Amino acid sequence: MESAKPIIFTNWVSEINTGTGHPIDTSFSRYVGINAVIAPHPLGAHNWHPMAYNPILGLVYIPAQESSNVYGKVKDWEFFDDGKSWNTGTGYNPDNPDYRDSLANQWN
């Protein structure tokens, strides 16, 4: 791997180890005892949106979506699979404080 630079704001990882491909976590990635606004959203920065290439300029245009999600630890949480939902196993605990970084605060 030559490089792995973010294309949108990302706060759960500081960088990617180019030797192993593993992310280097930040404090946002472990949200213990807090509710954390983590970016990007589980859908990521780029999904189905089609890319474009300009052969004259030699540029590739990659559409991106800027998004975040609040994660936390819910008291007495139990997994419930209704067969229709997407459950990441996390939730929002109103008893815990929200933990947001300076850029996430601009969005809310």
List, for the chain, all residue ranges whose pLDDT scores fall below the cut of 70. Answer: 1, 73-75, 77-94, 96-108
pLDDT 10s digits, 54-83:
999 999 998 888 888 887 766 676 666 666
By the 8 A CB rule, do 50 and 63 touch?
yes
Question: Quick one: which of 12, 77, 70 has its CA closest to 36?
Answer: 70
pLDDT (0 to 100) of residue 85: 60
By the 8 A CB rule, do 60 and 67 touch?
no
Q: Per residue in 17-49, is it b (16+ CB within 10 Å) or e — as a string?
A: eeeeeeeeebebeebeebbbbbbbeeeebeeee
